[in-house]
Homo-oligomer: A and B are copies of this chain.
Amino acid sequence: MKVNKIGVLTGGGDCPGLNSVIRAVTKTAINLYDMEVIGFVDGFKGLVENSYIKLDLPGVSGINHKGGTILGTTNRDNPFHFLTLQNGKEEYLDQSDRAINNLKSLGIDGLIVIGGDGSLHIAQKFSDKGVSVVGVPKTIDNDLSATDVTFGFNTAVNTASEALDKLHTTAESHHRVMILEVMGRYAGWIALHAGLSGGADVILIPEIPYKIEKIIEKVHQRYQQHKKFSIIVVAEGALPENGEMVVQKLVPESHDPIRLGGIGQKVAEDIEKISNVETRVTVLGHLQRGGQPVPYDRIMATRYGVAAVKAFVDGEYGTMVSLQGNKIITVPIKDAVEELKKVELTSELVEAARAVGISFGD
């Protein structure tokens, strides 16, 4: 089938590199295949409500290095469970057919969904209903299966690593324990990479339940080596052995940081209580989602965008573009969303961290 017109939307939380994908999709579709490109506004909400803009070459010019998404996004709207005004009251209804009708009436041959776990689940359901869909894996958390890396992740690691560089000097000057709480509710990728890069002494991740005594042991051990400060990186989903996760359980896609009483705060209080060492917490929060993408993410996002259009031309519907090694391939969307990709305890990365003296509190 000749693809003449494609739609594209960005779903879920903000992520550096979204604009690079939109730009690459648009340029590739127009330059190589003479397609028309429609951008739905504010994610799946625009698809249901038929709110869209036409994307052309001037419209995507100069956005490669910009954070955010020119299409807007939300992490609340699901066409299969959509807040609808019905007979004067609001109800959650299945509006997927309305969305599909919009695609048809616009003459759109297929849809590129740029999103994380939640958005790709929805994409899969549209695929099951016969829509030609290609997914692009997006999450700063890097916890999506079936791809080596998601775009946005390296930018988030960069932001967290820069924060650690800043905290280092203050920790050292004041002889403090400094805790940085980063994103990662279900997987510790950001914490692990930022900790390796930023010279952390302790890294706490959801995959490895921690014992507070082990953390304090590490702090004391450093004191004995005349290092009167320690740096701890805590993923928001880290939890003590036999404990429960401190963060509130929200819908999976909406993992904005929970500030009050988060795990970083808990670890700090426990350290101060037990060891009497002055401890401070910084919650990095939204700073991890914004800002200019680092070159690595701009390039990967561009490659993903190009590959997504080519996947359409090749008729590979129901797939997601994916990085495996140095290669971009396509995989079934459902392989990506079946289960989260977690840090393996015996992986070379964790072993490398231990080798350079990092404690996981276990």
In this assembly, does A109 line the interface, its C-beta being within 8 Å of a C-beta of chain B? no
**Other-chain contact of A27, B158, B265, B351, B355 (Cβ < 8 Å):** B355
Q: Are B178 and A286 in contact (CB under 8 A)?
A: yes
Pairs A-B, 7 closest by C-beta atoms: A68-B169, A67-B169, A325-B325, A166-B290, A197-B295, A166-B291, A68-B173
Give A residues with C-beta under 8 Å from B.
10, 13-14, 16, 18, 23-24, 27-28, 31-32, 42, 57-58, 61-62, 64-69, 72-75, 148, 154, 157-159, 161-163, 165-170, 172-175, 178, 193-194, 196-199, 225, 227, 256, 259-261, 265, 280-283, 285-287, 289-291, 294-296, 298-299, 302-303, 306-307, 309, 324-328, 348-349, 351-352, 355-357
Q: How many copies does the complex hold?
A: 4
8 new A-B pairs (CB below 8 Å) besides A58-B225, A148-B326, A309-B355?
A31-B356, A57-B225, A61-B227, A67-B166, A148-B325, A163-B287, A166-B287, A280-B285
In the docked arrangement, what's the CA distance between A65 and B197, Å? 8
**Other-chain contact of A355, B16, B28, B357 (Cβ < 8 Å):** B28
In the docked arrangement, what's the CA distance between A166 and B259, Å? 19
Q: Are B28 and A294 in contact (CB under 8 A)?
A: no
Q: Are B294 and A294 in contact (CB under 8 A)?
A: yes
In the docked arrangement, what's the CA distance between A18 and B296, Å? 20
